[in-house]
């Protein structure tokens, strides 16, 4: 693991790191904030998955999470959103697919299946690295994310309720199998058989019997993607039928940007910290 940068912040350390990934076959960069409480021993881990077009840097620079993470003594891990490199298949100019748009799936279709294995990277490879290199209590993990990352957080939590004690999301894509802006990516990554898509779709997973103790979701009412890509009412209905507690906060006047995310970031970290402790 290569140290790209380190800086002291809120008594802890904000670092950026790079390593060679077996899952993606590329170098992968990620950010980790380590709070000051690690001086007394391992602390809980909270994973933040970013949205379309983003890297680790978006939340690190604009998410305003460090004060709350330092207050509660929580490590924050922010991975990248896709493999990157000259030899990685991509569609330049298409912000909804390829570079910056891995959708946290393991692609099954060539040529994307060689590199686009973000599900395995987030679920298996990177946690093993975090456990070996940082003072992380891996028995206390939570996960959250934004937009495409909210989709990733919900699906990963639903498939690993034994690992994650908490899950929340900002403006998640709750039913990507039926959303206009995610269906084309799913077909390219996973093929035309839509039954294979259900493993990466929160609403479908709940319909198919997957469960999680509770969810927290914040959604802006002025989000331009609200009615076409996000549609939180579909998650609310699925959770209602499955009797999964969902706190859905519709935030009046907020959009899809990090101005929205940073406004409620501390609320989410407070919520996770209560469940991780």
User: Which positions are catalytic?
Assistant: 147, 223, 256
3-class SS letters over the chain: CEEEEEEEECCEEEEEEEEECCCCCCEEEEEEEECHHHHHCCEEEEEEECCCCCCHHHHHHHCCCHHHHHHHCCEEEEECCCCCCCCCCCCCCCCCCECCECCCCECCCCCHHHCCEHHHHHHHHHHHHHHHHCCEEEEEEEEEEECHHHHHHHHHHHHCCCCEEEEEEECCCCCCCCCCCCHHHHHHHHCCCHHHHHHHCHHHHHHCCCCCCCEEEEEECCCCCHHHHHCHHHHHHHHHHHCCCEEEEEECCCCCCHHHHHHHHHHHHHHHHHHHC
Q: Count of CB atoms within 10 A of residue 225's CB? A: 18
- Alpha-carbon distances, residue 117 vs 2, 112, 246 (angstroms): 21, 9, 29
CA distance 151 to 169: 8
- Four-residue CA torsion sign, 146, 148, 150, 153: negative
CA diameter of the chain: 51
């Amino acid at each position: 693991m290569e140290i790209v940068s380190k800086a002291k912040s809120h008594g802890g350390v904000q670092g950026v790191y790079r390593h060679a990934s077996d899952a993606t076959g590329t170098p992968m960069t990620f950010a980790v904030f380590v709070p000051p409480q690690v001086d007394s021993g391992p602390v809980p881990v909270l994973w933040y998955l970013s949205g379309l077009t983003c890297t680790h840097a978006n939340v690190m620079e604009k998410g305003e999470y460090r004060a709350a993470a330092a207050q509660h003594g929580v490590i924050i891990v922010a991975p990248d959103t896709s493999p990157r490199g000259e030899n990685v298949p991509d569609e330049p100019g298409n912000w909804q697919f390829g570079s910056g748009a891995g959708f946290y799936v393991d692609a099954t279709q060539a040529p994307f299946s060689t590199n686009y294995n973000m599900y395995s990277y987030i679920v298996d490879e990177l946690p093993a690295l975090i456990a070996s290199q940082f003072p992380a209590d891996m028995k206390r993990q939570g996960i959250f994310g934004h937009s495409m990352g909210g989709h990733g957080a919900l699906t990963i939590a639903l498939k690993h309720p034994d690992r994650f004690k908490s899950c929340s999301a900002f403006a998640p894509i709750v039913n990507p199998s039926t959303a206009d802006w995610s269906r084309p990516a799913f077909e390219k990554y996973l093929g035309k058989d839509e039954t294979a898509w259900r493993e990466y779709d929160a609403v479908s997973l709940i319909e198919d019997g997957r469960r999680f103790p509770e969810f927290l979701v914040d959604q802006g009412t002025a989000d331009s993607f609200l009615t076409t890509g996000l549609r939180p009412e579909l998650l609310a209905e699925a959770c209602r039928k499955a009797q999964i507690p969902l706190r859905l906060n519709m935030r009046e006047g907020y959009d899809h940007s990090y101005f929205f995310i940073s406004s409620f970031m501390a609320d989410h970290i407070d919520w996770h910290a209560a469940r991780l402790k």
